[in-house]
Structure 1
Amino acid sequence: MPLYGFRCDQGCAALDRSFAMSAVPDGIDCPGCGSTAKRRITAVQIGVGDSAAMRLQDATRSTADAPRVVSGVPASGGSARRRPVSTDPRHRRLPRP
């Protein structure tokens, strides 16, 4: 079942409650102050789960909104020059890009 967000007018903490899509109320009782907490306009959280696949999907999806920022070029393993792929001496005479 999807999660829906609620918040009361008294400034209590936001609440997330799970309801069936066909039975979502416009307001619920706030557990902090007892007044009515109105439903907030939020995206319905259908894909919330604790499985490894869901955590991977959430981590992958979050890179679209907040990509990792690097401070420099990644360090190469060893020397900056790559070793030749082939040891055939004829390949050494080929033009290099």
Structure 2
Amino acid sequence: MPIYEYHCPRCKVYEIIRGMGAAPAEDTCPTCGQPARRKISAPHVSRTGTAAFQLIDSTTRSASEPDVVSGALPSTGKGAAPVYSTNPLHRKLPRP
């Protein structure tokens, strides 16, 4: 929901959160009760070129449009499983 700024002649500037297009041109000040006019202010626009935004966008898009993968899985180049221990007794243990 957007934040609208109002300028009261007595209390200065205050903000109100209202629905899009539901903010009147004049409102009563919550502090003093005098009429306040709505200010035109700059919107808060996110920087869409950041890596975080691109990650969020690709995650949202992949929920409904997953990437199609064709072909085999890439090979790591190793033929055998890696050796975790050189102790010969560990070879007798069950493997996951």
TM-score with structure 2 setting the length: 0.44
Max Rg structure = 2
